[in-house]
Structure 1
Amino acid sequence: MCRSGHGAMLRIHLHILRILLFLLFSSTVVSSIRCYECENGVNPACGKYFKAYQFKAKKCGDGSPYYKCALQRQTESDGYVGIARVCYEMGTLYGLNETDGCREWTNEIGFTALYCFCSTNLCNKGNNPSLDNLLVMTSALALVYSFLFH
């Protein structure tokens, strides 16, 4: 009888886990992504030591799946580092790999900048959004593990 009860409990936990995962992924697909938008040239709190509490998140693209959060970093010849956090409409910059992660891009007139893309709400808060996403995924996996094996 104990074995049967344990198996039933495991099935309930798996069912709950499936529902939670469905809600997590369906809400990401249905709603617009929200990103920080700012420039450190306008407000220094948008710079390297980002102060998220000073900015409101922007809802990007009215539900369009063609937006990501982005962080752009450009070092000027005088050493100044310009940082911008934006809602990025995919396809805006020709030839730029827009998959999640960071990469340098140079246009035809020699403008070079580092672009970091990410696909979850408010993920452009850090200096390297792809590392922030890694932390979120690790936490999610730990939660799944605790449901299944404890």
Structure 2
Amino acid sequence: MCRSGHGEMLRMNVHILRILFFLLVSLTVVSSIRCYECENGVNPACGKYFKAYQFKAKKCGDGSPYFKCALQRQTEPDGWVGIARVCYEMGTLYGLNETDGCREWTNDIGFTALYCFCSTNFCNKGSNSSSSILLHLTSAIGLTYYFLFH
């Protein structure tokens, strides 16, 4: 009777290890964030009314976790608003809070811009999209259920 219970526990541990391995592989595969890169001074479709279908997102940093998507917005003295969407390497601008969200930053010579950071694929199009996270979470829950109850 004890050996039978030990066998069941061993099978359960193997299932748990499979789940953990799948999650680890999934996180490794999706670690490269994809962001839009453009400037409205070069292409007006990158401006306030962003036309994502005109741009191809770029894979940032070859899997480095030190990248986020960013949107930079600055108003020139003549009233023109410059907008840039980029792969942002963390630590690039000294003193800037790089947590997800938007904030103004001013450098030593008085240049001021609004920076918005986000950490999911294609998120610098202007609206927050968490569909990628939701998809991975749903997949993980489904696989966990399958391995535990089948």
Residue 30 of structure 2 aligns to a residue whose secondary structure is helix
Aligned equivalent of 1:28: 30
Q: Distance in 2 between matches of 1:88 and 1:45?
A: 20
Does the Cα contact within 8 Å between 1:28 and 1:120 map onto a contact in 2?
no
Structure 1: how far apart are the matches of 2:134 and 2:59?
A: 26
Matches of 1:24 and 1:123 in 2, distance apart?
Answer: 20
Gaps of 5+ in 2: 1-15, 143-150
With 41-50 and 20-29 compared, the bigger mean Cα shift is at: 20-29
Q: Which has the larger radius of gyration?
A: 2
Q: Aligned pair 1:52/2:56, yes or no?
A: no
RMSD: 2.7
Aligned residues: 128
**SS of 1:117 mapped into structure 2:** strand
Counterparts of 1:84-95 in structure 2, within 5 Å, are 84-95=84-95
What are the within-5 Å matches in structure 2 for residues 98-109 of structure 1?
98-109=98-109
In structure 1, C-alpha distance between the alignment counterparts of 2:73 and 2:129, rounded to whole Å: 17
CA–CA separation in structure 1 for the residues paired with 2:80 and 2:120: 29
For residue 112 of structure 1, what is the aligned residue in structure 2?
112
Q: 1:62 to 1:26 in 2, by over 3 A?
A: closer
Deviations 1:35-72 (A, max 9, x none): 00000000000000000111111111111111000000
TM-score (norm 2): 0.69
**Cα distance change of structure 1 residues 50 and 20 upon mapping to structure 2, 3 Å threshold:** farther
Letter in 1 for 2:118: C
Q: What TM-score do you get using the length of structure 1 for normalisation?
A: 0.69
1:82, 1:20 → 2: CA distance?
A: 43
Inter-partner Cα distance in structure 1 for 2:135 and 2:49: 24
Aligned-residue identity in percent: 75
Q: Which residue of 2 aligns with 1:67?
A: 67
